């Protein structure tokens, strides 16, 4: 989500037979106002919504949401309000829209589904859509200066089937949140409740800042629980009794949701800063991913509305219109928690994981060691990650947890790849692929993908194609959007090595679409760069040039050094092929200087070698030898062994062209220039 927010309040009230509305900016100035007739579709908005949603979304659900979203947009947003919003979006801003009303029916309309005829606004990343209550003004919060306490409370109903669903959901949420606890980000407590008294007791003892309630509604404002029927008003009273509580999240695996919508309304109307629930039920997998994204964003210091948007993005990446499920009532857009620096987060996470893994035993120790290995990997500390992954694999083996062993060894193999030990990594992934071939989950698809990468690194492109084809099949079955996009990128690179540029282009184009749909911006950008290279090799120079210029502009705006340098190198190469010598030299020199400033030896070598090639073609052999020798020097110093034979062969060709005596003169001059720099 963008960092420049423009806060708007949309006040909507029912004055039969009309709705009246007005849009206010954050200073209270009225931007637009008007009215529209009460539409029958809006009165029966629920019929456009699913009762439950998983990864496979029926087209009828998408069409229904679009239909009601377009009607809401046409009635309220189209016209002066939309022009105001476009003005903000056009300058890179993010619109935070809070719908405020006295009328619950108006509040419960699916505002999240607003659709401009092209896109759901909530899926563009530029619109944050939430609700407020007219009785309450914005509140200003004192940000937490202590570790946030999160309570997961399961209100178990007496009937077996819903009881199992509640317990399964609560366990899934607790398991998901343990990684935040293990990193020291939150304190976590999970409890099972028989009624309001249990909840009051646990809240009084734990003093939670965030309460996650897992429950099932019996309808008419009543919740099912073991002791008796619990009214939502009694539940909200219990939650409000704790002055520490800042946010309530309701998660219901089955049944109607209106009771929870009413509970959120009541909580915020009585002063709770934030309350969330589901518009419709989601599968456990989707629900946990959305709540994880929301709470993770909160703990990183995100604004409340941006944290809700993070949940929507996580859901949209997995199941499209699932983004419309979260309904948030908020009294402020301010963050609940201070934003820690990246260094603070990393230090706290490492210290907590090390302490807890050292003091734990059994599966807890194995799991914490695996988390620690992942942390080291994210820090680019691959040797430490390798050691922690090996220790985790041993710990899982001692407990007989084969899935844990598999996960730890997969990470171990990936660390070997990062450390340029592809031959040993190949052995690890071959064994994992053979020993666990019956597994059909995302982890096994990842193992085949990494097997393909290791094979390609070893020059075995045909075998790599087979492994990646299997990874594609398995990742499609596992329905992991990030992995599926990554496999398309790897497959595109294999087809490029095999010389099948048509297939490479087709695969990469599909990968770009998948990465875009899953909102994997970095992967999409990387894939577009590889796609531009493939198009260059297919002779599609105009398309490649347009792609690279667009990518370069975006990389510069985002201060992405690596992508910026890659784009300069590819543009320089393309211009060289097109006979544009001056622009080619400019881009390659720019690439070298940027790579030098960013201390990226591999890209320095790539830029210098291309400069050497141009110098040689221009018969400027002294300049060609200098750039080639400098590239050789950097490659040797940084142990970039795969580049050295190519550079040596190039320099040898120049020596044969100019003669050994003149060549040695050029080499001496190059050495002197490098030593004096």
Check residue 1 and give its pLDDT.
40
β-strand 274-278 against 326-330: which pairing, if any? antiparallel
39 has a pLDDT exceeding 70: no
pLDDT in tens, 384-429: 999 999 999 999 999 999 999 999 999 999 999 999 899 999 999 9
> Would the pLDDT of 374 be above 70?
yes
For 71, residues 6+ apart whose C-beta sits below 8 A from its C-beta are 39, 41, 42
Q: What is the phi/psi pair of residue 566, to 5°?
A: -60, -45
Question: Alpha-carbon distance 256 to 51, whole Å?
Answer: 8
Confidence at 605, pLDDT banded by 50, 70, 90: very high
pLDDT, tens digit (0-9, with 9 covering 90-100), for 641-668 = 778 889 999 999 999 999 999 999 999 9
Give residue 146's pLDDT: 87
Residues 6 or more apart whose Cβ sits within 8 Å of residue 559? none
CA atoms in the 13 A half-sphere facing the CB of 619? 2
pLDDT band at 174 (very low <50, low <70, confident <90, very high): very high
Q: How confident is the model at residue 558 (pLDDT cuts 50, 70, 90)?
A: confident
Closest by CA to 234, choosing from 215, 253, 252, is 215
User: Residue 17: CA atoms inside 13 Å, Cβ hemisphere, count?
Assistant: 3
CA–CA distance, 229 with 137 (Å, rounded to integer): 33
Torsion 159-164-170-171 (CA) sign: positive
Supply the pTM of this predicted model.
0.72
224: Cβ contacts below 8 Å, ≥ 6 apart: 155, 157, 158, 159, 162, 215, 216, 217, 218, 230
pLDDT of residue 492 exceeding 90? yes
Q: Is the dihedral of CA 270, 276, 280, 283 positive or negative?
A: negative
Q: What is the rounded distance in angstroms from the CA atom of residue 576 to the CA atom of residue 561?
A: 22
More confident residue, 458 or 46: 458
Compare 298 and 520 and report the one with higher pLDDT: 298
- The gap between the terminal CA atoms of the chain, to the nearest Å, is 43
β pairing state of 217-219 and 210-214: unpaired
Q: Is the pLDDT of residue 611 over 90?
A: yes
Contacts of 361 (CB under 8 A, 6+ apart): none
Quick one: residue 250, left, alpha or beta (phi over 0 = left, psi -120 to 50 = alpha)?
Answer: beta
Q: Which of 330-334, 397-401, 523-527 has the highest mean pLDDT?
A: 397-401
Tell me which residue of 326, 283, 288 sits closest to 55, measured CA to CA. Answer: 283
CA 641 to chain centre: 34
Stronger pLDDT, 16 or 582, i.e. the higher one: 582
Q: What percent of the chain has pLDDT over 70?
A: 96
User: 363-367, 424-428, 483-487, 672-676 — which is least confidently predicted?
Assistant: 672-676
Q: pLDDT class for 27, splitting at 50, 70, 90?
A: confident
Residue pair 270/233 in contact (Cβ under 8 Å)? The answer is no
Q: How confident is the model at residue 191 (pLDDT cuts 50, 70, 90)?
A: very high
Percent share of the chain, pLDDT over 90? 54
Compute φ and ψ for 209, nearest 5 degrees.
Answer: -90, -30
| Range name among 47-61, 339-353, 467-481 with the lowest pLDDT average | 47-61
What is the model's pLDDT at position 47?
66
Look over the chain and give the mean of its residue pLDDT values, rounded to a whole number: 89
Task: Please report the pLDDT score of residue 2 as a whole number.
Answer: 42
What's the Rg (C-alpha) of the chain?
A: 29
Confidence of residue 455 (pLDDT cuts 50, 70, 90): very high
Q: What is the pLDDT of residue 140?
A: 60
Is there a contact between 166 and 215 (Cβ–Cβ < 8 Å)? yes
Q: Which of 146-155, 404-413, 448-457, 537-546 has the lowest mean pLDDT?
A: 537-546
**Bond into 657 cis (ω within 30):** no
What is the residue whose two structure tokens read 């990226």?
600
pLDDT tens digit sequence for 198-245:
899 999 999 999 999 999 998 888 888 877 678 888 888 999 999 899
Tell me the pLDDT tens digit for each residue of 289-329. Answer: 999 999 999 998 899 999 999 999 889 888 778 888 999 99
pLDDT digits (tens, 9 = 90+) for 111-143: 999 999 999 998 888 899 999 887 666 666 667
Mean pLDDT of 52-81: 83
């Amino acid at each position: 989500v963008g960092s420049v927010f423009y806060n708007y309040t949309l006040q909507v009230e029912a004055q039969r037979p009309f709705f009246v509305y007005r849009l206010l900016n954050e200073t209270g100035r009225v931007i637009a106002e008007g009215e529209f007739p009460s539409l029958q579709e809006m009165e029966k908005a629920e019929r456009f919504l699913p009762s439950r949603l998983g990864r496979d979304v029926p087209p009828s659900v998408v069409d229904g949401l679009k239909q009601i979203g377009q009607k809401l947009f046409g009635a309220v947003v189209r016209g002066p309000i939309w022009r105001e919003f476009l003005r903000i979006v056009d300058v890179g801003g993010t619109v935070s829209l809070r719908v405020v009303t006295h009328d619950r029916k108006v509040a419960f309309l699916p505002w999240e589904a607003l659709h401009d005829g092209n896109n759901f606004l909530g899926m563009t990343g530029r619109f944050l859509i939430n609700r407020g209550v007219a009785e309450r003004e914005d509140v200003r919060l004192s940000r937490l200066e202590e570790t946030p306490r999160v309570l997961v409370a399961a209100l178990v109903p007496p009937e077996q089937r819903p009881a199992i669903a509640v317990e399964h959901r609560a366990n899934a949420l607790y398991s998901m949140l343990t990684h935040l606890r293990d990193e020291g980000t939150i304190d976590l407590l999970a409890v099972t409740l028989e009624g309001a008294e249990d909840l009051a007791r646990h809240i009084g003892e734990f003093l939670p800042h965030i309460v996650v309630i897992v429950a099932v509604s019996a309808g008419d404002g009543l919740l099912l629980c073991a002791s008796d029927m619990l009214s939502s008003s009694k539940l909200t009273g219990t939650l409000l009794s704790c002055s520490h509580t800042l946010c309530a999240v309701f998660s219901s695996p089955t049944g109607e949701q209106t009771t929870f919508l009413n509970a959120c309304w009541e909580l915020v109307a009585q002063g709770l800063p934030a309350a969330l629930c589901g518009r419709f039920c989601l599968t456990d997998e989707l629900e946990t991913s959305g709540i994880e994204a929301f709470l993770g964003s909160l703990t990183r210091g995100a604004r409340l509305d941006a944290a809700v948007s993070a949940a929507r993005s996580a859901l949209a990446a997995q199941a499209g219109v699932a983004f419309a499920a979260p309904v948030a009532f908020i009294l402020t857009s301010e963050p609940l928690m201070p934003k820690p620096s990246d260094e603070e987060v990393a230090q706290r996470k490492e210290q907590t994981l090390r302490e807890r893994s050292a003091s734990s035993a059994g599966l807890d120790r194995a799991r914490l060691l695996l988390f620690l290995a992942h942390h080291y990997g994210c820090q680019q500390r691959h040797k430490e990650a390798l050691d922690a992954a090996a220790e985790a694999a041993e710990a899982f083996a001692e407990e007989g947890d084969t899935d844990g062993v598999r996960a730890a060894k997969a990470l171990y193999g990936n660390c070997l790849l990062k450390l340029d030990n592809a031959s040993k990594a190949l052995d690890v992934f071959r064994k994992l692929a053979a020993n666990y071939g019956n597994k059909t989950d995302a982890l096994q698809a990842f193992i085949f993908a990494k097997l393909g990468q290791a094979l390609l690194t070893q020059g075995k492109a045909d075998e790599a194609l087979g492994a990646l084809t299997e990874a594609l099949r398995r990742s499609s079955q596992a329905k992991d959007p990030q992995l599926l996009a990554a496999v398309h990128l790897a497959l595109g690179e294999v087809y490029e090595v095999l010389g099948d540029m048509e297939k490479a282009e087709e695969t990469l184009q599909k990968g770009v679409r998948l990465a875009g749909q899953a909102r994997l911006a970095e992967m999409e950008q990387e894939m577009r760069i590889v796609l531009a290279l493939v198009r260059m090799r297919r002779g599609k120079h105009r398309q490649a040039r347009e792609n690279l210029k667009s990518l370069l502009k975006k990389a510069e705006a985002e201060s992405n050094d690596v992508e910026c340098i890659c784009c300069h190198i590819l543009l320089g190469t393309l211009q060289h092929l097109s006979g544009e010598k001056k622009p080619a030299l400019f881009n390659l020199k720019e690439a070298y200087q940027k790579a030098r400033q960013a201390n990226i030896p591999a890209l320095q070598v790539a830029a210098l070698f291309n400069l050497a090639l141009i110098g040689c073609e221009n018969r400027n052999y002294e300049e060609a030898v200098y750039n080639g020798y400098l590239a050789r020097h950097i490659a040797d110093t940084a142990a970039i062994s795969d580049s050295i034979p190519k550079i040596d062969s190039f320099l040898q060709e120049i020596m044969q062209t100019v003669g050994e005596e003149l060549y040695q003169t050029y080499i001496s001059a190059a050495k002197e220039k490098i030593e004096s720099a």
